[in-house]
Amino acid sequence: MLVTGATGLLGSWLVPELVRRGAQVVALVRDASPRSLLVSGGWLDRIACVQGSLTDERLMQRTMAEYSIDTVFHLGAQTLVGVAKTDPVGTLEANVRGTWMLLEAARQCAVRQVIVASSDKAYGESPNLPYREDDALRGRYPYDVSKSCADLITSMYARTFGLRSAIVRCGNLFGGGDLNFSRLIPGAIQSTLREESFLIRSDGLYVRDFLYVEDAAEAYLCLAERLAADTTLAGEAFNFGLGLRLTMIDLVEKILAMMGRPGLRPTVMNNASNEIREQYLDANKARTRLGWTPRCHLDEGLRRTIDWYRAFFAGQSSPASLAALPAGQNA
């Protein structure tokens, strides 16, 4: 199996689970950051690694051919909304061109199936909530557009060329191993451990859906297993989320309460722009057609995540290391 984006948050949980299930895993790695959970956990020593970029067409074809790849989990992408605003061309290059390069290589190398990571952001801003898989894709901002395009391209390869591919659209992932403290949950936990007020970039009333990372990894595996057995799933998209309508300020306050710091109030900056105000998912299709259901609801997922960060920071080389990491500020 080939996993792109293997050293990211999701890949760092998916790859070990594939290995535990006996899969022979090949990881496409662009930047093997030592801070990645996959790297620090020693998992790169247990799999084959190919160094390079999704947009290297020859590398993608050679990797799939030489390793006789059967299944691809395409997780590789530029995943940060803020970075997409700053560098829209780089984001489109990675997320759109990278996706068609991978799918074309898979088609030419007769790969059996491809699972493509998307996002609830692919739906864009819609008057109809929760999002359902047959809703139109209405991306307007750079990151959202990149995901809308990648999904349409994936569906095109399935419908036109018979490539057995399917799309995963998750709510915001969270869990241990995410060291990007610009994201809300790791940023809020880090700020609380520092005993600092967390900075909420928006007015705090933006609504998002979430999914614990281990449940997300299980969702990908579940879809791959079902797609292998049922060709009618090719070209389909599936939502995976908790179906939450949670405001950012409510989530931060929940984290503060769980960490025993309810008096440490967040600071609302109210300077966010060009972001969708309300997003949450209907995951009924995944439940009925795939038999998937999340094992960790929000409180249990947050408890596991908080425990992971407490242990992570406790294991840092010096007390100053906590302050050395960049501060969190998010939605």
Phi, psi of 123 (to 5 degrees): -75, -20
290/219 Cα distance (integer angstroms): 9
C-alpha–C-alpha distance, residues 5 and 28, integer Å: 7
Reply yes or no on whether 143 is catalytic.
yes
H or E stretch covering 182: none
Catalytic one of 131, 141, 143, 280? 143
- Asked whether the beta carbons of 31 and 38 are under 8 A apart, the reply is no
Q: Cα 216 vs. chain centroid, distance in angstroms?
A: 8
Q: How far apart are CA 178 and CA 127, in angstroms?
A: 32
Q: Which of 110, 56, 49, 55 is nearest to 77 (CA)?
A: 55
Strand order in the sheet with 165-170: 48-51, 26-29, 2-4, 71-74, 113-117, 165-170, 237-240
Decide if 208 contacts 331 (C-beta within 8 A).
yes
Catalytic residues, by residue number, are: 143
